[in-house]
Structure 1
Amino acid sequence: MKKLMFLLFLFSSSVFAADAIYTPWHNNLAIRGYDTVAYFTENAPVKGKKAHSMEWQGATWRFSSNENLALFKANPEKYAPQYGGYCAYAVANGSLASIEPEQFTILNDKLYLNYNADVQQQWLEKRDAYIELADKKWPSILND
């Protein structure tokens, strides 16, 4: 488990206390450019478009339509992923890791993202316990 978490950390973005929203090291796109509203409205990962984008919490958020952009502008906290878009499993285990936009779960109107399909499967097996752990560790984990 420690080896897995170390590997997850190696492939995560640069981590500083100001990085409340996960973005890859090579750009400033939240959720790697995917439309966070579409997870809720279409229950699917949908790529956002540069033409429908905005800055929020130090990251660039892209949307697939003006309608989704407007929904996000009206209530960004409703649509933003939990734990700043970092992997929910990693946060529960005291680490920060990147995500694959295709590995998501909507639960109680909250968006959770995971590092990859294998990690998501592990997270889903004890999802409620991992959410409880991650909720306790977030956002102080950014300062560790």
Structure 2
Amino acid sequence: MLKQVFLFTVIIFLLTQSKMTLAQDELAKRKSHFNLEKGIALQGYDPVSYFDGKPTKGNTSIKHTHKGVAYYFVNQANADKFKSNPDKYEPAYGGWCAYAMGAKGEKVSIDPETYKITNGKLFLFYNKFFNNTLKEWNKDEINLGKKADENWSKIF
């Protein structure tokens, strides 16, 4: 009987350790593949504010970390909205330029105020030096979206 209890304890321990390792691997993967500046997503913009139609820099004192990725929020209400449904508010493709992900499968930085919400998902775009990739995205959104999904699944 003592041998069975010991064996059961060892099995539970090993299962727990493997789950912890998988969770740590996921956190590390998100941190290495998401678009972060000093560990913060969206260049400090509040992800919920995009869905209110006005992207706004978050307050550094109102911070929430979801699966290893940190976000700032304008107010506690927005932080609570995010916490209740983070998948709704996290940007597509880890916060990288949606157009570049679709056109070339590349992780390209974004202008946090150049964005589009389609089917409830936040897409961000590069917009510098007279190159607003949102305009190109809009010309072929369906095909670029499919390619971006495929390319992101290879990366993440």
TM-score w.r.t. length of structure 2: 0.74
- The number of residue pairs the alignment matches comes to 124
- Identical columns (%): 35
Give matches, 1:47-66, under 5 Å.
47-66=57-76
Quick one: distance in 1 between partners of 2:146 and 2:121? 14
Quick one: distance in 1 between partners of 2:101 and 2:54? 23
Q: 2:83 aligns with which of 54, 58, 73?
A: 73
Kindly provide the amino acid, as one letter, of the partner of residue 134 in structure 1. Answer: A
Quick one: distance in 2 between partners of 1:120 and 1:57? 28
SS in structure 2 at match of 1:139: helix
Kindly provide the amino acid, as one letter, of the partner of residue 135 in structure 1. Answer: D
SS in structure 1 at match of 2:56: coil
SS in structure 2 at match of 1:138: helix
Quick one: distance in 2 between partners of 1:17 and 1:70? 25
Residue 134 (structure 2) pairs with residue 120 (structure 1) = yes
- Structure 1 runs not aligned, ≥5 long: 1-15
Match of 1:28 in 2: 39
Structure 1's consecutive aligned runs of 4 or more residues displaced over 6 angstroms after TM superposition are none
Q: 1:110 aligns with which of 91, 107, 121?
A: 121
Kindly provide the amino acid, as one letter, of the partner of residue 148 in structure 2. Answer: A
Match of 1:96 in 2: 107
Structure (1 or 2) with the larger CA radius of gyration: 2
SS in structure 1 at match of 2:132: helix
CA RMSD of superposed structures (Å): 1.6
TM-score w.r.t. length of structure 1: 0.80
Q: Show CA shifts across 1:19-78 (max 9, x none).
A: 232113xx11100000101111x2121110012111123222001010000010111111
Q: CA deviation at 1:122?
A: 1.1
Quick one: distance in 1 between partners of 2:61 and 2:96? 25
Quick one: distance in 2 between partners of 1:17 and 1:69? 23
Q: 2:56 aligns with which of 23, 46, 53?
A: 46
- Structure 2 runs not aligned, ≥5 long: 1-27
Kindly provide the amino acid, as one letter, of the partner of residue 113 in structure 1. Answer: L
Q: Show CA shifts across 1:108-139 (max 9, x none).
A: 10000011162121112111211111111113
Higher relative contact order (CA 8 A, sep 6+): 1
Which structure: greater helix fraction? 2
Match of 2:9 in 1: none
